[in-house]
Every structure is written in C-alpha cells, then in structure tokens.
Amino acid sequence: MNLLILSCGTRDKVVQYFRKTFEGEGRIICTDCSPYAPALYEADAHYIVPRITEPGYLEVIYEICRKESITGVLSLIDPELSLIAAHKEQFAALGVTVIGSEYALCERTLNKWELYCWMKEHKYPCVKTYVSLEEFRQALDQGEIAFPVFVKPMKGSASIQIAKAQDWETAAFLFSHGEQMIIQEYMTGQEIGADVYIDLVSGEVVSIFTKKKLIMRAGETDKAISFFDENLNNQITQFVRENGFAGQIDIDLFVQDGVYYFSEVNPRFGGGYPHAYACGVDHMTLIKNNLLGIANPIRTTPYPENQVMMKYCEIMLLDATKPEKERQYE
C-alpha cells in the first residue's frame, strides 16, 4: 500500500504525518516540478516531474504509479485536482484510487463565481459576489454593498492578485486590468477554517475540525485557535452532502452577526491542516483505512478547544553539488 503525493511543494508536515501513519505498511512517494520543493525530501522516495501543463505529464505520473505500485494518489495544489479527477478511470486501471472529489466539483470550487452561484441557488449564506462592473455599480447604487471590497481572480489561489479597493475608481481599475476578475464584499466578521474528511467508502462526513483564523499569510492560515460549534458542524455536513464532496476538503467561512457565511472550498489538504493533526484530528489514518477498503466511523471524540497554532519557519539544506539524479530516487 503506497501513496503518491503530487505537487508536494512546502507541505512537509503533511508528508511527515503520512510517513508516520504508513510506517511498516507502505511507502510515501512525492513529486514536484522543482528540485527545491522541501517536502520532496521528507518522502520515502521522490521524483522531479514536468509541470502539470506540459504535454506527457500524466504519462510520467502513470509510469511512477506502475513503478512504485501506488495504491492511492492525491494532489496538494488546486489546478491539479481537476486533472487527476478527470482521469480517475485511467488511474483505476492501474489499481490507483484518486483521493478526492469528482471533476465537476473540482471545477466548481476552482471557479469562485460558479461556487457562489451554487451556494446562492441552494440558499446558503455566502459572500456577495459580482462578475461584472455593471452589476456591482447597480448593487452599490441600491445600497446592497459598500466599500471596501475585494477584487480577485475568478480562478485563483494563494491570494495571488487579490486587492482591497476603497473606492469605485480603484475597483474599476483592478477589475479591468485583470483576467476574469470578480468583486466580493469585504467581510468584517471572524474568518473560520474547517478541515473536513468525507469517507471514500461510506460517503459520510466522518471528521470536522474548525478553527478561528487569527493571522493569514499568502492565503494560508498562519495562526489560529481551535473551537467547536455543533450548529456550524451541522451546516458543514449538510453543505458537503448536498455538493457530494469526497476525501479531504478545506472550507473557508466567516461568522458575522451570528450567521455563518460560506466563502470558498478547496477539495484538498489546506495549509492550516497541521493544526487539526496537532489536536488529534488524524485524517491520514482515515485515508489509509479507506485505501484498505475500511469505512471509518463518524468521529465523536472531542478535540481540545482554545489551542492556538503558531507556524514558524524551518530550513532544509540540499547539496547542490550533487547531480540531480543522485538526489532523485531512481
């Protein structure tokens, strides 16, 4: 039973947790397009691969699956989620389970406008979003929204190209000078993050961990504090079931005036997941059980509240004098 983690980047902790979980029962194999992705060197073996947009990328991944007798595969970056989901049958033919949601869901969550439309149609409280300057202008004139607002790409991650606009001129400039941009209301309430696991065997939501975000950096949670709210968990469970997500997902919300507003969904491990793991919410074991065909029970054990996660920097040294093939698993 071997797990392949694609585009591992700097997610060292995720790789470490999987290695600990699979120790004695399987190996963790990682890939990335850069030899300077530190998480590569936490794995039992690693491969430097082409970028996901390059021709032949998937053939390289399929070959790794065959060579390493891979049982399950997952990616840690948004653009690749749809790619592997779209080729679920090809992976299955190799005996590999894609750990993640279906293609249509990956596409919906990558496109913030599509997700907003779905949430609005299904009557979930959500962050007001506009896809045209005309609609935004009308909403301003009618008092439905006020400055400041956020202008961001319709498809984007890691907070790239996100900017706050305090007036019409700035908002219009940012919107017009980006590609496929949207405008969202600026939420003043507390930002919330939820790490959720939906069992691949039973289809049930078996684990939810929630935290209040204290400090963000480059779109990821840098500091946060754990909390539990049964009402929120019930809303998340309903939201997940209606969408049909599978495997690991990361949900961003806001709570404002006592109402939880859904914002974004990433159908993968979020950057703040180590907080959950440190509080005893172990999703690696849930994945291992699923790969063995075992359905996980719904988690009933409470995790500790008021536990503050504080990320800090670590370093890793790589001997650049060695040829890449010596640093890369053969």
Q: Is the peptide bond before 148 cis (omega within 30 degrees of 0)?
A: yes
Assessment of whether the complete model's pTM goes beyond 0.85: yes
Reported confidence tier of residue 61, pLDDT bands at 50, 70, 90 = very high
What is the pLDDT, as a whole number, of residue 327?
54
Amino acid at 261: Y
CATH (residue range 2-98): 3.40.50.20
| E strand map for the chain | 2-6, 28-32, 45-48, 70-75, 97-98, 129-130, 149-153, 163-165, 181-185, 190-198, 205-217, 220-227, 247-256, 259-266, 308-310
Helices H, strands E: what count in the chain? 12, 15
Q: pLDDT for 157-174, tens place per residue? A: 656 778 999 999 999 999
Scanning 36-178, the segments in alpha helix (DSSP H) are: 57-68, 78-86, 88-93, 103-110, 112-121, 133-141, 168-176
Report domain extents, the chain: 2-98, 128-185, 188-310
Decide if 2-98 and 188-310 have a common fold: no
CATH superfamily, domain 128-185, is: ATP-grasp fold, A domain (3.30.1490.20)
Report the C-alpha gap between 81 and 106 in whole angstroms. Answer: 6
* Contact yes or no for 199/294 (Cβ under 8 A): no
Running DSSP on this structure, what letter comes out for residue 39? G
Q: pLDDT for 79-130, tens place per residue? A: 999 999 999 999 999 999 999 999 999 999 999 999 999 999 999 999 999 9
* Contact yes or no for 149/143 (Cβ under 8 A): no
The SS3 of residue 319 is coil
Mean pLDDT of the chain: 95
CATH superfamily, domain 188-310, is: ATP-grasp fold, B domain (3.30.470.20)
